[in-house]
Amino acid sequence: MPKSALKKEKWTLSFDSALKSAVVKAAKRRGLYPVTVLEGLVREKFNPYGHADVDDSAAYISALRKQGRKQSDEAFLDEIAAWEKSQSS
């Protein structure tokens, strides 16, 4: 196999420096590479109802509970109705 076929594809992303520092701090806290944290955030964004990709289940449940306190009951029911509609189509 040629050597060029084994090279890993590299991407360069440019974004806000404050956001970058937040990602780096989160990565340091978790003991992960920043790219791993970003990949996790992107996976979570594209699969908001999934739970199979959760790395830290305690942090995930804690975040869900915090979100639940901020959300009204009607908004929660609307979200469930929207989810049911998306699953039935």
Is residue 67 one of the residues assigned to a domain?
yes
Question: Cα(84)–Cα(62) distance, rounded to whole angstroms?
Answer: 24
Lowest mean pLDDT among 9-18, 22-31, 56-65: 9-18
List the domain range (segments joined by +) for residue 71. 56-89
Q: Is residue 6 part of a domain?
A: no
Q: Please give the tally of structural domains in the chain.
A: 2
Overall average pLDDT of the 58-64 stretch: 84
Indicate if 43 and 22 belong to the same structural domain.
Answer: yes
- Give the residue, 58 or 3, on which the prediction is more confident: 58
> How many other CB atoms are found less than 10 A from the CB of residue 37?
20
Asked whether residue 89 falls in the same domain as residue 69, the answer is: yes
Whether residue 11 is contained in a domain is answered as no
Q: Pick the closest to residue 49 from 25, 11, 85 (CA basis).
A: 85
Tens-digit pLDDT profile for residues 11-25: 777 778 888 888 899
**Token pair of 29, please?**
């806290």
5, part of any domain: no
**pLDDT over threshold 90, residue 49:** no
Residue corresponding to tokens 């469930």 = 80
Residue 65: the pLDDT is 84
